[in-house]
Structure 1
Amino acid sequence: MASDRFTLDPGARALLHDLGISLARVLRRAQLPAGVFAHGQVSMTVEEYYRFWDALDAEAADPDLAARIGRALSVEAFNPPIFAALCSANLRTAAERIAAFKPLIGPLNLRVTFDRTGLTIAVNWPEGPPPPPLFVSAELAFWVALARIGTRREVHPTRVAMRRAPQPSAETTSYFGTQIREGKTDAVTFSAEDASLPFLTEDESMWDFFAPELRRRLSDLEASATTADRVRAALHERLPAGESSINAIAAQLMLSSRTLQRQLRAEDTSYQAVLSDTREKLARRYLADRSLPTSQVAYLLAYDDTNSFYRAFRRWTGLTPEGARNGGHLTPA
């Protein structure tokens, strides 16, 4: 369960310096306090964090900034969960560990899958407006940087996809080793062979040192979340995979469906209410992205067919999805 705030490590100052970008000017553009880094790690709301990334994009005015960020990334710019993941045996293990502790960094979730086609890391973003394109592409560039730092090899992903893919550029394509393509989700895929390459930074004793504190922090974060919050987080992860049943969500939360319903009733809500609210908010977000056809939005929300989604959307808003798009009625519910 993620908190509703992003953390920005002080290492970002060194990163921007290495990129030749003025932190003071970025903060001014983002309407954030000039002394925001004065006390170490920074905590920002989602809206503030997105403003920071939009301001960084505008200040740099460089369509290849994500690739430059990937090349400039070093261990100093990493948050503790990511630094600790470098102690893993390989990229697959590192991805699984980062996915477990990513909520400590911000309100997003990672879906990590591994099969004979390779390792895919997909990002599920928080509810509300879509994340800045630079933030998305930099997140995907991070995984390439992590693979290269860990293996000391020029690892290239086999596929990079964004729901709002940027215009192709030689520099960014060179960094990834492949063009960023339009996709249903924001995701990066590595071959099974590259995902299993040994990390030269592997250090299980260091991981054993970090892990208990990370688990304690994650436990504290989860303990502060309501059951409805935990259900929403699980739905964000499971809906794109076609799962919307209470049994599937209860199993993910390691509860019986009866216990889950009882806990939700104690919070004056129900599973169907949380499911409907989550779907509505996600539908508004997805429809704001005009590159996503309505049929794909229905798929991402785990509806059996597009007509079911139409009926639900009309019940929420009194409008059809196309009517909401054309009329500008897609502000978050």
Structure 2
Amino acid sequence: MKAHFADRIKIPPGFWEGLRQLGIAAHDAARKARLPLTIITEPAVTTAQYFAIWQAYSELIGETAIGIIKLATVFDTAKYPPTVLATYHARNYRDALNRMARYKQLCPPESLQITEEGEHCTIELGWLNTEQPGPSMLVGITLAFLLELGRRGTGQPLTAKFVEFSHPMGDLQALEAYFGCPVQMGAKGNRLILHRRDLELPFVTYNEELLEILTPALDRSLNDQQRSRSMADTVKWIIKRSLTGGRVDIQAVAKEISMSDRTLQRRLTEENTSFKHLLTQARHEQARQYLANPSLDIKEVAFLIGYEDQNSFYRAFRHWEGDTPSNWRKKQLGANSL
């Protein structure tokens, strides 16, 4: 069975620090994205939340091209997570790009496909676990970071051969000055075309000892992720985050991960499960967790797992556990006190 990447995206602390250096407070970005302020300290966010944050930055900075260039150049390399930090200590530019493409799978939603042919190296941007393209700002930043990687690693003012964007990116002249090459908007995809000869350039930041530590750990993480992550895990995680006080349906969850409900249904069928089954599992698991907290009354637990009335929750819980929520809680609390 094909594994799917869970919709849990880690935002490095360096991102918020980069915004601060550009005069944008993290809480302003969260508000603009219409997300709770706790998103700043959340260990992971969904694809929809991740896209919303990038769109908020785009709106706050005002000009897409300028926002791309400013953030790409101000971002402190030391603030990158290990998945990206390893690329800055690669042997050469080619090694760095290949590491970036491989370990990008650990921090979706972007994916990178690298092709070397003739005098050119083409890097095409795609998306993991979503059918919707990311915001223009995120697209531009991703490609700019790849060139910035080469510039910082080699210590040379490298330029690209050609850059293609599928959507308008703002100030064309500013982007062409930054990339050092022609930039096309309205293309069929998003691509960074490099001079293949530059891939041989050694990195002045090469650190063999650090790579010997990072590489095995990252490879293990990637292998574990590919074995364990599934679309079912993703859906159940989103359901649990969305249960409180409202009806959760497949359309809402599909929208959260930027795919159609039909595609989501197909993916779940491939994993021998269904949305209804995952919703039931999520409610059952959350009910057990909440009932273990004696400070929550039964009516509140029913609300927290998405039931509009207490009677519906009672019927569901008796089906799951063969007992009422009150009796189950008493037995659990009694057992834990022994």
Q: Name the TM-score, length of structure 2 as normaliser.
A: 0.64
**What is the aligned partner in structure 2 of residue 209 from structure 1?**
213
Report matched runs for 1:293-308 at 5 Å. none
Pick the structure with greater CA Rg: 2
CA distance in 2, matches of 1:5, 1:226: 12
Q: Deviations over 1:82-102 (max 9, x none)?
A: 101111111111111111111
Q: Which residue of 2 aligns with 1:222?
A: 226
The residue that corresponds to 2:179 in the other structure is: 176
C-alpha displacement of 1:28:
0.7
Match runs of 1:68-83 below 5 Å: 68-83=70-85
CA separation in 2, counterparts of 1:226 and 1:16? Answer: 33
**1:106 is matched with which residue?**
108
Matched residue, 1:51: 52
3-state SS, counterpart of residue 45 of structure 2: strand
**Bigger shift: residues 65-74 or 44-53:** 65-74
Q: Which residue of 2 aligns with 1:66?
A: 68
Instruction: Report the counterpart of residue 88 of structure 1 in structure 2.
Output: 90
Q: Which amino acid aligns with 1:220?
A: D
SS in 2 for 1:124: strand
User: TM-score scaled to structure 1, two decimals?
Assistant: 0.65
**1:7 lines up with 2:17 in the alignment:** no
> What SS does the aligned partner of 1:7 have?
coil
Deviation of 1:71 (Å): 1.5
Distance (Å, rounded) in 1 between the aligned partners of 2:98 and 2:204? 18
The one-letter amino acid of 1:196's match is E
SS of the residue aligned with 1:157?
coil
- Count how many residue pairs are aligned between Structure 1 and Structure 2: 233
The Cα of 1:59 is off from its aligned counterpart by 1.0
Q: Contact conserved, 2:6 with 2:230, CA < 8 A, in 1?
A: no
Label 1:152 to 1:215 Cα distance change in 2 as closer, same or farther (>3 A).
same
Task: Evaluate the alpha carbon distance shift between residue 148 and residue 29 of structure 1 in structure 2; reply closer, same or farther with a 3 A threshold.
Answer: same
Q: Is the aligned partner of 1:144 residue 2:138?
A: no
Give the corresponding residue for 2:192.
Answer: 188
Percent identity over paired residues: 27
How far, CA to CA, are the matches of 2:272 and 2:28 in structure 1? 46
Contact 1:26/1:52 (CA < 8 Å) preserved in 2? yes
2:131 is aligned with 1:135: no
Distance 1:34 1:228 in 2: 28
Query: Would the aligned equivalents of 1:157 and 1:178 in 2 still touch at CA under 8 Å?
Result: yes
The change in CA–CA distance for 1:36 and 1:266 in structure 2 (over 3 A counts) is closer
* Change over 3 Å in CA distance of 1:219–1:69 after alignment to 2: same
Q: RMSD across aligned C-alpha pairs, in angstroms?
A: 2.4
1:212 deviates by 1.3
Q: 1:37 to 1:166 in 2, by over 3 A?
A: closer
- Residue 27 of structure 1 pairs with residue 30 of structure 2: yes
Q: Is the 8 A contact 1:28 1:34 kept in 2?
A: yes
Pairwise CA distance, 1:204: 1.8
Judged with a 3 Å threshold, the aligned counterparts in structure 2 of structure 1 residues 118 and 74 are, in CA distance, closer, same or farther, namely farther
1:96-122 CA-to-partner distances (Å, cap 9, x unmatched) read 111111111113321111232222211
Instruction: Using the TM superposition, name which of 61-70 and 44-53 deviates more.
Output: 61-70
**Counterparts of 1:27 and 1:228, CA distance in 2:** 28
How far apart are the structure 2 equivalents of 1:13 and 1:132?
18
Shift in alpha-carbon separation, 1:227–1:151, aligned structure 2, 3 A: same
Cα 1:62/1:204, change in 2 over 3 Å: same
